[in-house]
Chain A
Amino acid sequence: QAQLVQSGAEMKEPGASVKLSCKASGYTFSDYNIHWVRQAPGQSLEWMGRITAGSGNTRYSQNFQDRVTFTRDTSATTVYMEVISLRSEDTAVYYCARLQTPLILAAAFDIWGQGTMVTVSS
């Protein structure tokens, strides 16, 4: 069955960068957009942006577009997110999520990764 498996927890100092991975399996990787959503402790969900797995086209939330980069490796069926210039407010669980409908831009998220906890602290 379709699933997304994310990389393990990270602990970083302020100012550092982090690169997270999200490996897809059980479906045709290039047919679905992958989005990234983060959740700070005790807070709601915050959309960060998406990458079209087939073309590599990206769209970023205005809140993150200067510090976040999405890439993908089609041979590895893996999507990556790099965040630079980390600050304490970036401490959160980061999720990748797949759109439920292939080859379209707008739909709900039907498959979520398990999440990656990123802690930013000196």
Chain B
Amino acid sequence: DIVMTQSPDSLAVSLGERATINCKSSQSVIDSSTNKKCLAWYQQKTGQPPKLLIFSASSRESGVPDRFSGSGSGTDFTLTISSLQAEDVAVYYCHQYYSGQWTFGQGTKVEIK
């Protein structure tokens, strides 16, 4: 299975400041036949199901604020919240859908400093 490792496990950021979450896959998650990056980011608030933020590593889901952005390629990916808002307090997960056995990162908890 492809192992997804996120860093850090948690971070505290001041309101209006930038938050950066990293995700590293144990092997490439790029579909060479389509050049598609099979990597998504989700936000999960307490007691709720995950919500899709980013797919194909850098495409923002409809309705997601533009302060959320994704980047990366190969095995290293990043989710950036450009200006943290109070409603962004949540756990964030990366997810690879490249291999037949899909896997998630362990999660990164984002709090307000």
User: Residues of B contacting A95 with CB < 8 Å?
Assistant: 49-50
Tell me if B95 and A107 are in contact (CB < 8 A).
no
Tell me if A109 and B61 are in contact (CB < 8 A).
no
User: Residues of A contacting B42 with CB < 8 Å?
Assistant: 45, 109
Residue of B nearest to A48 (CB): B102
The proximity string for A residues 36-54 relative to B, scoring 1 for CB distances below 8 Å and 0 otherwise, is 0100000011110000000
Most buried by A among B95, B100, B101, B102: B102
Tell me if B100 and A100 are in contact (CB < 8 A).
no
Tell me if B38 and A45 are in contact (CB < 8 A).
no
Q: In whole angstroms, how far apart are the Cα atoms of A112 and B49 in the complex?
A: 6
Q: In whole angstroms, how far apart are the Cα atoms of A46 and B102 in the complex?
A: 9
Contact (A47, B104) CB under 8 Å given A100-B55, A106-B31: yes
Tell me if A44 and B49 are in contact (CB < 8 A).
no
A contacts with B, residue count (CB < 8 A) = 21
Residue of B nearest to A111 (CB): B52
At the interface, yes or no: B93 with Cβ under 8 Å from chain A? yes
Which of B1, B97, B101 is A106 in contact with, Cβ under 8 Å?
A: B97
Tell me if B49 and A107 are in contact (CB < 8 A).
no
Residue of A nearest to B95 (CB): A108
Q: In whole angstroms, how far apart are the Cα atoms of A107 and B93 in the complex?
A: 15
Which of B51, B52, B101, B104 is A100 in contact with, Cβ under 8 Å?
A: B52
Which of A44, A62, A112 is B101 in contact with, Cβ under 8 Å?
A: A62
Q: In whole angstroms, how far apart are the Cα atoms of A35 and B52 in the complex?
A: 15
At the interface, yes or no: A66 with Cβ under 8 Å from chain B? no
User: Residues of A contacting B73 with CB < 8 Å?
Assistant: none
The interface of chain A, by Cβ under 8 A from chain B, is 35, 37, 44-47, 59, 61-62, 95, 97, 100, 106-110, 112-115
29 pairs of residues in contact across A and B, judged by CB atoms under 8 Å: A44-B106, A45-B104, A46-B104, A47-B102, A47-B103, A61-B101, A62-B1, A95-B49, A95-B50, A97-B49, A97-B50, A100-B55, A100-B61, A106-B38, A107-B55, A107-B97, A108-B52, A108-B56, A108-B95, A108-B97, A109-B50, A109-B95, A110-B52, A110-B61, A112-B49, A112-B51, A113-B49, A114-B49, A115-B49
